[in-house]
Amino acid sequence: MSIKLVSSEGEILTVKEEVAIKSMLIKNMIEDTGGDDEIPLPNLRITILKKIMEYCEYHKNDNPAEIEKPLRTTNLAELVDSWDAKFIDVESMEELFEII
């Protein structure tokens, strides 16, 4: 089944349900609405929504390991797999906060 996610700009991103439910926010919204309607995400720009769904697609068949705290290093590549480290290497702190 496909889910239609609506960004803050009103753009629609259609993704497979198995991918979308990797996001707990979206999973809860699907459970609340049944997923038959478009799911509005008024706080997410389409570029950030696509980036989040890219992460969910990559991890659709697994659950990434939790990062141990306190951090033993400031080098993210030593804490997560290389794909995740590259994924979160974004241009600005603002973009990082939007993803989080």
Could you report the per-residue pLDDT of 71-100, keeping only the tens digit for each? 888 888 888 888 998 998 888 889 988 988
CATH 3.30.710.10 fits 2-99, yes or no: yes
Domain boundaries, the chain: 2-99
The pLDDT-based confidence of 14 (bands split at 50, 70, 90) is very high
- What pLDDT score was predicted for residue 70? 87
Strand order, beta sheet including 39-40: 12-16, 2-6, 39-40
Residue 52 burial (CB count, 10 A): 23
- What pLDDT score was predicted for residue 54? 96
- What's the DSSP call for residue 34? T
Average pLDDT over residues 42-65: 94
Q: Which phi and psi (to 5°) does residue 97 adopt? A: -65, -35
- What pLDDT score was predicted for residue 36? 77
Please state, rounded to an integer, the average pLDDT across all residues of the chain: 91
Tell whether the model's pLDDT for residue 55 goes beyond 80.
yes
Tell whether the model's pLDDT for residue 69 goes beyond 80.
yes
